[in-house]
Amino acid sequence: MNKKIRWITETAIMLALLVTLQALTKGFGQLVTGSFVNAVLAVTVLVAGLSSGITVALISPVLAYLLGIAPQILTVPAIMVGNSVYVLVLYFICGKARKRIVRQIVGWAVAAAAKFAALYAIVVGLICGVLSEALLAAGTLKPPMLQALPATFSWPQLVTALIGGAVALLVVPVLRKALRK
């Protein structure tokens, strides 16, 4: 199969899977939906490659917002950054490590921590901290959302990234074998 066609196909399948899982799990809350999203991100980068992983990482928050899952448009760029950090760290630490379980576990833990740190810094530190007064004055951010965002973008991000990564570490070897990658 042509490389471009394979890339388009793999990326489209992972995006379709991600949208389906977001829609199906929307009512189950952040821990379920976020874990599925992180699993899809991890599987995408570890099976389809970095460019597919980044593409899915950037498009998924937009789709989440359109589905009413992302809490506010202000968070979409932050989620894009967090997802991209997760994908990049996973790729560079364990993307090629097929049978090195210790390296995969380290990559999984570091990627989850890096995503959490990026999202916490951007949403809690920047949006809810430094920029909060200006955003409230402009009407871009409402007080209830200012109260909710820190809870959403703190420890649950670490937990969902860890759960999603753990699922991916179990699924990826099976997919690679099936796809002969």
More confident residue, 8 or 64: 8
For residue 4, the 8-state DSSP code is H
The pair of three-digit structure tokens given for residue 108, joined into one six-digit string: 């999984």
Residue in the block written with tokens 């394979």: 6
Secondary structure string (H, E, C) spanning 96-149: CCCCCHHHHHHHHHHHHHHHHHHHHHHHHHHHHHHCHHHHHHHCCCCHHHHHHH
With beta carbons less than 8 A apart as the criterion, state whether 119 and 82 touch: yes
How confident is the model at residue 177, as a pLDDT? 87
- Give the number of other Cβ atoms within 10 Å of residue 176's Cβ: 13
Instruction: Work out whether the CA dihedral 43, 59, 61, 107 comes out positive or negative.
Output: positive
Q: Supply the pLDDT for residue 140.
A: 85
- Joined together, the tokens standing for residue 12 give 């489209």
Which comes out higher in pLDDT, residue 32 or 141? 32
The answer on pLDDT for 148 being more than 80 is yes
> What would the pLDDT profile of 22-31 be if each residue is shown by its tens digit?
989 988 999 9
d(CA 113, CA 55): 21
Report the pLDDT averaged over residues 44-49: 94
The first and second tokens of residue 44, run together, are: 């995408």
Q: Which tens digit of pLDDT belongs to each residue from 96-145? A: 666 688 888 999 999 999 999 999 999 999 999 999 889 888 888 888 88
Nearest to 142 by CA among 132, 152, 131: 132
Rounded to an integer, the average pLDDT of 160-180 is 92
Q: Is 61 helix (H, G, I), strand (E, B) or coil?
A: helix
Q: Which has more confidence, 97 or 83? A: 83
Rounded-to-integer distance, Cα 181 and Cα 173, Å: 9
Q: How far is CA 136 from CA 76, 77, 78, 149, 177, in A?
A: 18, 18, 18, 14, 52
pLDDT of 98 reads: 63
pTM: 0.93
The average pLDDT across 75-84 equals: 96
Per-residue confidence at 8, pLDDT binned at 50, 70, 90?
A: very high
* pLDDT, position 126: 95
Confidence of residue 74 (pLDDT cuts 50, 70, 90): confident
